Each structure stands twice: as C-alpha cells, then as structure tokens.
Structure 1
Amino acid sequence: MSAAVAEASGGRLEILPLTDPDVRGWLGNDAPWEPTLLRVDGAAVRSWTRLGMALPLVRRLGVRATGAVLRALGQVRHEMTRRHEPAGIDRKQFLRLGAGVVVAGGLVLSGSTPAFAANPYAKAIEWTRRNRDALPATLDEFTRYSATYRRAIHAELAPAVRSRLWSEHVRRYRAAHAGLTAEQSAVLDRLRDFFGDPANLRFVDPAEAERIARIDALRTATESAFGESGARTLLVDLGGPTAQAPLGYCRCSTASDYCSATSGGHCVQTSGPLCTVTPPGCGFGGLFVCDGLCFP
C-alpha cells in the first residue's frame, strides 16, 4: 500500500505505518485501523479518514493526483479483501499486509518533493557541521542536547570521542545496576573493552564481514544476558532513549535491526519514496546507516 500511494501522489505524501511511535502519539491507541490522512504543523495535528480525506488532498495535490491516491487505496484494499475472503482480515493481518498511514505535513506537501530543510533533524545536522570544533566531548555535555541533536552530534564526533562517550555509558549502567549476575558482569566487561577501543567506533562498512560478525556476536551475548530491551539500552540508546528521526528520515538500520525491542517488528528497507537515508546513527553503537522504517 505504501509504495502504491507514494507513487500515486508523485512523492508528495509521506507514508508511515499506523504502529509508528509518532503516529501513535498523534492519533492515540484507539484510532481507526484504516488509511488516515494527517496534517502535521508543529504541535497542531489534524486527521481525516475515508472520503473525508478527499477535500484536503485536493487542496494540496490537485484533483488528478487525489483521484490517483484514492484509487490506489481502493485497489489495494480490494485486493487484500479478495485474497482473504471469506474470513476477511483482522487487525494483525491488515498490518502485516502493509496497512499504512498517509502523513501529510505542511512542509512535506508544499512542493513536488519533500522539503526537509526546515525539519528539526536537518537543522541539527546543519548545526553540528557548523560547530564541529565545539561539539560535546563528555557524556554529561552530550546528554544536555535533545535526542534529535544527539543523533546528529554522534555522527560528527571523532571515533576517539565516541569511544569515550560509550565507555562512560557502559560504566554508568554498571554503577546503576546492583546485583548483576556473573553472565551480565562478563558481558559488561566485553562491552567496556569493545567501546574502549576507538578503532571499534568507526562507522561500519557493509563489506566488513568479519567486523560485523564480531558486533553481532557481542549483541547476541548482550541480549542473552540482559534481554532485548536491556540490550537496546546498552547498545543503542547512548545517554538515554534515542528519539525517532523526524518525518521523512529513515529510523532504523536493516543491517543492525533493533525494531523488535520497541515495536515488535523488523526494519524494512524503504529508502527512496518513504524515507531519506541518513548517515550512521542507527543500530549497534550508532555505527550503521539508517536506511529503513520499523514494521511488524
């Protein structure tokens, strides 16, 4: 559904799953389980469903493009229903088949292509590049910034500085958790050694098979000792829970997928019409390119 609607709109609508954390925040957990149009303007959010989407779509896209979008929605839903007759499809099946939410922000719909320059993450990237020589060098300084800025800052820091931040992150985790098991203590020792070497904090090249295997083995050990949620806290959320990238930007790494710890799903590569690939900042240690969105 997402690809069909994105194509029909000429790339002027941004598509997100109804399970996306931002969408849940805007609509609540009891929102209708159906394609929904959202207009997001800062804190102001308005939504439409079914035929109610037509008029705001016409105002933004024009009659022809709106017709194409509504036809795409109708055709996909008809095909989904046909495939699953006579029992129909339940909430979980509808999601698995690609139920999407059409997200239409004022900026996203203002031109023929998404205008992300005014996006908070784009501003954060621009700010970090202007201030390369004055970026935070300690974890306390790092955590004073919003999660959006932390992600952009991390991408600009030298490996030696990233090493220092992650080492302190692990040290504080150990200090805050009394009664660790022998397995957990051993894993924290391994993480201390890994993050203590700046060479390990270089961004990952997909061709580095041996290095990726080492990272995967360390992740497996961490999940075994601390569970998926604990592993994400240790390996992904530097300085505290990491914010989702704003609309338009990819939010996870298909090569280092931690979606199951937050949404119970998987990172699906949707770069292109659905999200813009960003520099490394996702996955283990923020070392992997962000190239997808979390879907169940």
Structure 2
Amino acid sequence: MPRPRRYLCCEPRYFDVRYAINPWMTEAARPGAEVDTDLAIAQWRTLVQAYRDHGHTVETVEPVPGLPDMVFAANAALTLDGRVFGSRFLAPERRPESAAYTSWFKAAGFDVQEPEPESVCEGEGDLVPVRGLVLAGTGFRTTPEAHREVQEFLGVPTVGLRLVDPYFYHLDTALFALDDENVAYYPGAFSPGSREVLRRLFPDAIVATRDDAMAFGLNSVSDGRHVFVAPDATGLIRQLERRGYRPVPVDLSELRRAGGGIKCCTQEVRS
C-alpha cells in the first residue's frame, strides 16, 4: 500500500550546465546545446504537483544564485528516523549547496551530522534505505569512509555497493526502492561482487535493462505503490505494471542534461 511521504525539493530557478562532472553534463555542454531553464522549471513543477496529487507533502528550499545543481535535493542529505546525515560534495562547484540545505534542516528542527573532513558523502544520491539497511554506493562520489560514518550515526547496517559505469555515477541512477522490502536495479552498473550481493539480498527484484537505465528509469521515486518514473523507460514501466505498481510518468528531460531525474530532485524527509 502507498504511504504518505514528506519530500523536500528545490526549484531549478538557476539551473544550467556550466561545468561537467559526469558524462551527461559533458554532452550537454557541447556547443549549441543551450539549457532551457523555463522548461526545467515547468517540468519540475509538474513533478511537485504529481506528488501532491497523490497525497504527499512537498516542502521547498529556496534556491541560491550561482548553484545551478541545487535542484538535485537528494544529494543534500540522508534523513532517517528524524536524524539527518548531511553532505560533503566531491566537486568544489557543489560544496556550497551543503550549507543551504543544512540551514533548512536546522530551521525545520533537525540536528545535522556533518561528514568528517576526509569523507565525501552525497546523501540519497548514494544512500538508499530499504529492508532495515542502507544500501551505500561508492566508486565515483561517496567514499567508504562515509558509509562507516552513516552506520555509526544511524545505527543501521550499511551495505557497500561499487558502481563501475560512469553514466551511473550515483547509486540512485542505477537502483531505487520499490517499497520497504524490494528494489529495482540495473546489474551492469555494479561490480561483479556487488551484483552478487544484490542478487542475494533481493532475489525478487525488478531487473532493468540498460536502455531503461539510460532513460533514467531507475532514478524513480516510489511511495510503495505509485512509482514516479521517466516516461522513456517503457520496459521498466511494463515490469512495474506486471508487479502491481502504478507508474506515474513524469518528464524531466531538461534536467537530464545535468545527469539528474526524478529521484535526484527529491529528498525524502523521514521523521
């Protein structure tokens, strides 16, 4: 059954592709490939309305000029049982985002644990709570040191998963939680050992194709029944329907120019 969720989002008022820190941005930064900020805002508003139409609460953090990737709220933190583990970004261009989100969480009454100085942690981009665990991606952004810090802070076991394909630079581009017990994922994004871990933990998982993963189908958000999903991920949508989930297609193609999609734009506040 679906469960009402509380989401934190940030309007892409200053969205742009000004630097390249993943392959999607490299392609978007080619000459003549201008970003349509108005379209990005319109698509983002459609996502927010879809959440609200399905009974979820959406709160927003004020965007900051000069931070074009601040729309990707998932990277700001992991919140679980009312506790917030904050972010420290790998790319210098994104590091100021942490302070803006930390201010929002503190104003909302949360304490925020910051990663140690030597750690990189990119929030729900690489940290996915499911089945009483935190699946923890590494390989491109978040470091294993941060995984250990998350486990100590939250008291929840972390399971490290190594990403090996630069197009899937965050865990949330290659895997998402369908509900409290199961996931969907693309095996090719992971190292052989990590694929085996996922097979053992989630024998009934939905296994996506590379085409659906490249369409950002795995950068989805599920409330346990409704799955907010990229419309181009047609094979994944069919699999979801066969399993009894209700896909809610939302087009965020303009934000995909920076390597982001539905989940990237959505921080779940678990209080």
Provide TM-score, normalisation by structure 2.
Answer: 0.28
Larger RCO, structures 1/2 (Cα 8 Å, 6+ apart): 2
Q: Larger radius of gyration, structure 1 or 2? A: 1
Structure having the larger proportion of residues in helix: 1
Higher strand share: 2
